[in-house]
């Protein structure tokens, strides 16, 4: 093979993002195997990774990880550019915006659990709007709002608790930067 003329040197940040995104993609694919009673209600385990990255490395990296996860996850599941992909994407974008605002809340009072629940609500909100405008042009979509809202609270709480737990363990371990997901 001829050596490449273009030299791409990934920075430590690039590697970190790739590693976190990989973890999130694994969770997305694993989650797709779980049968769920209602379409649209998912635990969203990959968001645990987003929350951890947000707390440890900031919003910008969380955006990268989240969007890479949506893209690669949809490719792996054969959903790329399918309706489900756009629902995921709109949910992820809304979540990221809400996370960007939520991290500004005083950390003494609001932790990963708050971030998680707020992002979950932004997620279902955006998805409902997209579904109403594009997929199911009928107000009947909103009949499911209470179910989605309950799922947002429950899974937001659980994911947030897991993220908070992971963050505490990571802090206790005091691993060197760049290796946070390997345990």
Partner 1 sequence: MRLELADWRGLLRPGDVLVAIGGLLVCGYALLALWQGGAPDGAVVRAGGKVVARVDLAAERTIEVPGPLGVTVIEIRPGRARVASDPGPRQYCVRQGWLTQAGAVAICAPNEVSLSLTGRAADYDSLNY
By CB under 8 A, is residue 45 in contact with partner 1? no
Q: Nearer Cβ to partner 1, position 23 or 124?
A: 124
Label each residue of 148-175 as H, E or C: HHHHHHHHHHHHHHHHHHHHHHHHHHCC
**Sign of the dihedral defined by the CA atoms of residues 57, 159, 49, 146, in that order:** negative
Using CA atoms, how far apart are residues 40 and 49, in angstroms rounded to an integer? 20
Whole-number Cα distances in Å, 49 to 2, 16, 94, 141: 38, 12, 17, 30
CB 94 within 8 A of CB 100: no
User: Which region, judged by CB under 8 A, interacts with partner 1, from 22-30, 31-39, 78-86, 138-146?
Assistant: 138-146
Q: Nearer Cβ to partner 1, position 28 or 159?
A: 159
User: Which region, judged by CB under 8 A, interacts with partner 1, from 9-17, 28-36, 38-46, 112-120?
Assistant: 112-120
By CB under 8 A, is residue 173 in contact with partner 1? no
Q: Nearer Cβ to partner 1, position 21 or 99?
A: 99
Tokens of 97: 């915006």
Using CA atoms, how far apart are residues 91 and 139, in angstroms rounded to an integer? 19
By CB under 8 A, is residue 157 in contact with partner 1? yes
By CB under 8 A, is residue 161 in contact with partner 1? yes
By CB under 8 A, is residue 160 in contact with partner 1? yes
Using CA atoms, how far apart are residues 118 and 99, in angstroms rounded to an integer? 7
By CB under 8 A, the count of residues binding partner 1 is 28
CB 93 within 8 A of CB 126: yes
By CB under 8 A, is residue 143 in contact with partner 1? yes
Other Cβ atoms within 10 Å of 89 Cβ, number: 19
By CB under 8 A, is residue 142 in contact with partner 1? yes
By CB under 8 A, is residue 106 in contact with partner 1? yes
By CB under 8 A, is residue 133 in contact with partner 1? no
Q: Which residues of this protein are in contact with partner 1, per CB under 8 A? A: 105-106, 108-114, 117-118, 121, 142-143, 145-146, 149-150, 152-153, 156-157, 160-161, 164-165, 168-169
């Amino acid at each position: 093979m001829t050596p490449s003329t273009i030299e791409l040197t990934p920075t430590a940040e690039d590697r970190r993002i790739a590693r976190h995104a990989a973890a999130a993609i694994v969770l997305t694919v694993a989650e797709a195997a779980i049968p769920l009673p209602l379409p649209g209600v998912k635990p969203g385990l990959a968001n645990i990774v987003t929350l951890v990255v947000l707390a440890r490395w900031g919003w910008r990296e969380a955006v990268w990880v989240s969007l890479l996860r949506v893209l690669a996850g949809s490719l792996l599941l054969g959903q790329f550019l399918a309706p489900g992909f756009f629902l995921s994407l709109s949910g992820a974008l809304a979540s990221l915006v809400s996370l960007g605002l939520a991290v500004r809340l005083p950390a003494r009072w609001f932790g990963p659990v708050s971030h998680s629940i707020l992002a979950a609500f932004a997620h279902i909100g955006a998805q409902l709007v997209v579904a109403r405008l594009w997929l199911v042009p009928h107000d009947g979509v909103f009949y499911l709002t209470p179910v989605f809202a309950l799922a947002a609270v429950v899974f937001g709480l659980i994911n947030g608790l897991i993220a908070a737990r992971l963050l505490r363990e990571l802090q206790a371990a005091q691993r060197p930067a760049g290796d946070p997901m390997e345990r």
